[in-house]
Amino acid sequence: MNLKNKACFLDRDGVLIDEVNYLASPDKVSIIPHALKALSILKEYNYKIIVITNQSGVAKGYFTEKEITEIHAEIDRLLAQNNLSIDKYYYCPHHPEGKVEGYNINCDCRKPKPKLILQASDEFNINLKQSFLIGDKVSDLSAADKAGCQAVLVKTGHGMEHIEQARQLGFKVADNIEEAVIFYLQSKHLFVKKEAGR
């Protein structure tokens, strides 16, 4: 009997919220409209919803970890209005070429490294083979691949720049987070009814 959880790992910027270069302030948070439907489907199918995000702006001195926490609180607030939530946010604040002492390291948690996915998988008792990631960059998909879960590229955020390479590597491309969730669940032979007019 399999008592492990399934998860959908989400990249944050360009997948869950609008891509803003080095988002530093909660008032610039804007949830991608398709994300609400995507999250409600994931909830319905009992997927843990876990954000895995590179935030090298900390290492580069554009914002602090405190501001990341505030941004995540704002995402939580907006999602809560729709009875939705994120199970946990994992972020990498590092970058080897950053200037902020302590953060300007060649870490082992920045995607495409799989460490944060593996850490989440331990903490939430996740079966990676029954889990997937949605990202807008090949580095997101590669991290998932290394962790042993499937991945789908979306065309939102930086997605358009990564389509060709993602396809060459054999990843599926979807228009947005909602289409990605529906595609993945249907590939698992789970029927997901699309709402008319969406």
Which x/- pattern over 57-86 shows residues binding Zn ion (rule: CB under 5 A)? ------------------------------
Catalytic-residue membership of 76: no
Strand 47-54 relative to strand 6-10, pairing: parallel
CB 105 within 8 A of CB 96: yes
Binder among 9, 13, 41, 154 for Mg ion (CB under 5 A):
13
Residue 150's closest CA among 17, 5, 9?
A: 9
Block residue for tokens 């998932």: 144
Residue (20 or 192) nearer to Mg ion, CB: 20
Catalytic-residue membership of 11: yes
Say how many Å lie between the first and final Cα of the chain, rounded: 37
* Token couple for 78: 């907006």
57 binds Mg ion (CB under 5 A): no
178 binds Mg ion (CB under 5 A): no
Binder among 107, 118, 163, 169 for Zn ion (CB under 5 A):
107
CB of 135 to Mg ion, least distance (A): 6
Which x/- pattern over 86-105 shows residues binding Zn ion (rule: CB under 5 A)? ------x-x-----------
CB of 46 to Zn ion, least distance (A): 30
* Token couple for 37: 């439907």
Part in contact with Mg ion (CB under 5 A); list of ranges 11-19, 34-42, 110-118, 182-190:
11-19
> How many residues belong to the site for Zn ion (CB under 5 A)?
5
Amino acid at 64: T
Rule CB under 5 A: which of 135-174 touch Zn ion? none
* Token couple for 8: 């959908």
117 binds Zn ion (CB under 5 A): no
Angle 164-14-36 (CA atoms, 0-180°, nearest 5)? Answer: 120
109 binds Zn ion (CB under 5 A): yes
Strand ordering across the sheet containing 88-92: 88-92, 47-54, 6-10, 132-135, 150-154, 172-174
> Using CA atoms, how far apart are residues 95 and 102, in angstroms rounded to an integer?
10
For Mg ion, the binding residues (CB under 5 A) are 11, 13-14, 136, 157
Catalytic residue numbers read: 11, 13
